[in-house]
Amino acid sequence: MKRDFLRDHGKNGFEVIEEAFVLLRNCPLTVLSLYFVGSVPFVAGVLVFWSQACHDPFAREHLVERALLVAGLFVWMKIFQTLFCVALLARLGGAETPKWSLRAILRVFINQTILQSSGLILLPMAALIALPFGWVYAFYQNATILDDGNSGAGPLTKQAIRHCQLWPMQNHLLLFVLPAFGLFVLINWITLCLIVPQFLRMFFGVESAFSQSPAAMLNSTFFAAMLGFTYLSLDPLIKSCYVLRCFYGKSLSSGADLRIGFARMARMAVFVVAVLFAGMNHAQCEESVSSNRVVTQENLDQAITKVSESEKYAWRETAKHSGKPPGLFERFFSGLTQAVGRLMDFLGGLIGQLLEWIFGKPASPEEKQSATGWMTSQLGLLYLALAIVAALFAVSVMRFLRKRKAASTTLSVALPVTPDLRNEQTGADELPENDWLEMGRALVEQGDLRLALRAFYLALLAHLAGRSLVTIARHKSNRDYEYEVGRRGHALPSILLRFRENVSIINCTWYGQHEARPEMVGSFVANIEEIRRTT
């Protein structure tokens, strides 16, 4: 009756998910690596394509070749996912991982290119209609799992259709539970990536734009990356669930699940018989020994004396000599002393081994005792504790004096520091806006127009940062600032035009080979004044 029910309805979806977890956990690393070798390049390629399409102003010029590259990575992923799923299916059947020939891999490439390319159109259409999505999704998963490289696209399609029609309730339960689980995986990835910059800043002092403003991470590229990580985390489990569905579907005609179940029962029966046989032999041995053992009063007294003198009952001797049982603190410090003594013995053994390794001569027990005996004595422990306290006190005093000296030096010597304009690491946040402007005017009077333009540009960035139109960061380029001004100041298009003009001037003079001329400086300063009036 149960077999007929499983044939008609299949296993419960939660049982399939649990078996899939076990299957992945017992999967060898060589098999699991097949999945990630194929999937990681595709996910990375999609993220790069998305980022360039969103932020690269020349993305349309390279759209065709980038799209073809992503399509090639998609076929690459499907080939390796097929190798991964076929290996899992073989492990379920108790067979070894199949050896792939070049001809079989080429047939897999043709089959997956023909079948999976249509899924990019049919899956979204089925999701919009909603009702046939479960069968369509199962078909494309089966087309990946059942492609062993021995047949063409036609027989593979018929086989995948036949398996996707099995147990629809189980299939739809999987499609309900697994995406819900994937939502929690997505939340975990987002939380992890948001707190990593804070941990780096707290424990390693690594400061970044993300640690200063976590909201800077919340953009389309970030969420696309989180979806990619979620796919890499969840899709192997989905593949394992549909591998189990295909295995049980094949077992309806081949009986492979029964054969494996009988093999497991046979191994369990052998194990139980071996345990019972060993237990019977042990009982017979105990009976023979007990029959040969003669219990006398003398033997009984010796056994009682031996047990009472063991370490387990040593507290009785202590209580007998002291007249009263030891107190709580006495037992605590006694145990602490014994633990420290054992630790010192262990360290002494390590020191002895080190000396033996250095000098090549094994130390005698007397030498080891003399070398480590002071460490295990109570007086040695007291000296060691005093030395540790003195060292901690000295370190605390030195740190206090160092901080006090640094504070007094900072208070007594307040020399103005002029940033080096020639250094690319000099940021606009090192001086106020007016100081940059004064520095630029002084450099104009000195005739150094190139450095003057650099100072005026930093003054412009400081002004925009004060108006929350940009966020100063060392890793940002001029194009990043230009994009940020366009995004935050979209209500003031004149600012973006003048900022672009100034960025063009600074790129030509500071990074290019153009000579800085007075008319460039005048135009640059006029744009700055207009931006200051507008904002």
pLDDT in tens, 437-466: 999 899 989 888 888 998 999 999 999 988
How large is the average pLDDT for residues 316-333? 55
The alpha-helical segments, DSSP class H, found in 293-377 are: 297-308, 314-322, 328-359, 365-376
Locate 402 and state its tokens: 């160092």
Structure tokens at 172: 């739809």
The pLDDT of residue 476 is 85
Among 270-274, 281-285, 311-315, 374-378, which range has the highest average pLDDT?
270-274
Place of tokens 């690491």: 425
- What are the angstrom distances between the C-alpha of 8 and each of 18, 44, 139? 21, 42, 19
Q: Which of 486, 481, 488, 442 is nearest to 462 (CA)?
A: 481
Give the residue from 178, 207, 193 showing the smallest Cα distance to 18: 178
Domains in the chain: boundaries: 2-264, 353-414, 428-534
Tell whether the model's pLDDT for residue 290 goes beyond 90: no
Rounded CA separation 217/210 (Å) = 6
Q: pLDDT class for 374, splitting at 50, 70, 90?
A: very low
Q: What pLDDT does 395 receive?
A: 75
Confidence of residue 1 (pLDDT cuts 50, 70, 90): very low
Closest CA to 110 of 65, 157, 64: 157
Asked if pLDDT for residue 231 goes beyond 80, the answer is yes
pLDDT attached to residue 137:
93
